Structure 1
Amino acid sequence: MDGFDFYHEDYEAMSAEEARTQRERLISDRNEHPEYLVHQAWTALWRSFDIYTDNMSELRALLAAAETDEQLQMELFQNVRAPTVRTAYFRGLDKALHNALAGAMSLVDHTRRHVPENFPDTKFSTGFESKNSIVYEMPESTFLRRFRNYLLHVGHAPFKMTGTLAVKSGDTGTLTVWLVSEELLSVENVWTAPARKFIENHAEGIHLLAVVDAYGQSMLDLYHWVFDQQPVLRPDGLDILNEFTRRINLTMSIGAHDGRNMHEFWEHAARNAEAAREGRPQTDWQDVKPQG
């Protein structure tokens, strides 16, 4: 592979100092390589995406549980004993809501920085702006962006519950968690015109699970497209980074192992350790390692 000719490959002939020097140079050169920098940016974006999806999954699970778990519904509605379960449920819902909205805003901001910095004036950057604007202009998105400000600067989410309990055999309980639109609209200087319109269009209350599902699916569709572009945009990037890794591993192991077939390598090491304990001869990895 081009660009690697000046590294030594006669590993067994290297002194410990020469091996250390080459390993440090390989690591330094890799860390400054454009493909590594872009790869790190993608890795950071994946990290932001994982945080967002974990938080959104937790939020959705809580909302869905209230609508489907009849035992939970009984605890949320009951008023004959201490509301331990209800208190814990809404405490968890408050936390999940804060985390999900913060994670969503962070993910979008991180992506809007990543794309133009690493792929300026490309079809990818143009495509992202176009697809992201569709999600951005969704009524649910316009509401959630300002609702996050409401939670940060005004107060807690104004929840309400409606539904019926399954009190007889064969009955099915129903419960829905809503946001109280009237209470949201009572606060001035928080809502943009599109966000206020969304609330006004849901005067009886905002079904939070429906909003989360609509926004969440649009975000998943957007980011599936974003991450599908990663191997296409830098087709040689992974090969270059793998070559750095291969040479670093060979330098560290005096040519014994390049990092591939690690499972087989450690099984071989375990067999050699057992052979040493039993006084049997050991086998060189070079003689047994898989080919290709």
Structure 2
Amino acid sequence: MKHIFTSTLAVIFFITLLSFPTLATVDTVATYSTVMQKEIKAVVITPTNYSESKDYPVVYLLHGYSGDYKAWLNQVPNLESYADQYGIIFVSPDGNYGSWYWDSPEDEDSKYETYVGKELVEFIDQKYSTIQSREGRAITGLSMGGHGALYLAFRHQETYGTAGSLSGGVDIGPFPENWEMKKYLGTKAENPERWEEYSVMYQSNRLIPNKLKLIISCGTEDFFYNVNVKLHEKLAYNNIPHTFMTGPGGHSWDYWRDAVQYQLLFFHNYFESQN
């Protein structure tokens, strides 16, 4: 009887293992930025069934101020299951704590627009089996990364087909003393035109209607809520189609974990519409 019981447990254990699919593959890759002459890390998540015989869409995830390339994976472990659910590759690069994803006019060693918008995209397309066109690329991020995602997408509509922002600092003008921005732009008092030029709010004038599919999310208790509403109203006034989602929530991972699910579905639907 003892041997029968032991064998039964072994069979149950084996069946249990089969019932849980293998998780997506998570890699930390070292990329090299020629423009900044340094190595930069990024997390790359590929679906469980990843195959070089298939081309996959890519979603770039940008972290916020004081974060790093591990932030998204650490805070949203479900990214692995989302990679499988939608058949996409996630790429989360390091934005150097507080770069705001600009090519800084003040700091020659901070060229993150070129790195994320060009060098990283080229690296991913060379190393992985991706859809190597704007129709297969999305970019989003939170807070500083929400600003960065829209800033890069607005300025590089030839690179990204769809973009989003989660609680993004989409108008930097009201925050001249915050988050080390003056380190990269100079002071607002001395460089008022530059502070407009490097803000998503004013980069929106570059948008070509119906070219870039946009989704913007922000919680009503967020300190960036008012600037997000302002961007939404400006896009609407200029007849730029976009999805604006809001609801209860502050500037926190609790809100971002929930809101990113809607953005990923939005991106998935866009990718599917390109087939």
Q: Which interval holds the TM-score relative to the shorter structure?
A: under 0.3
The structure that is strand-richer by fraction is 2
Q: Of the two structures, which has the highest relative contact order with CA contacts closer than 8 Å and spacing of 6 or more?
A: 1
The structure that is helix-richer by fraction is 1
TM-score normalised according to structure 1 size:
0.25
TM-score normalised according to structure 2 size:
0.26
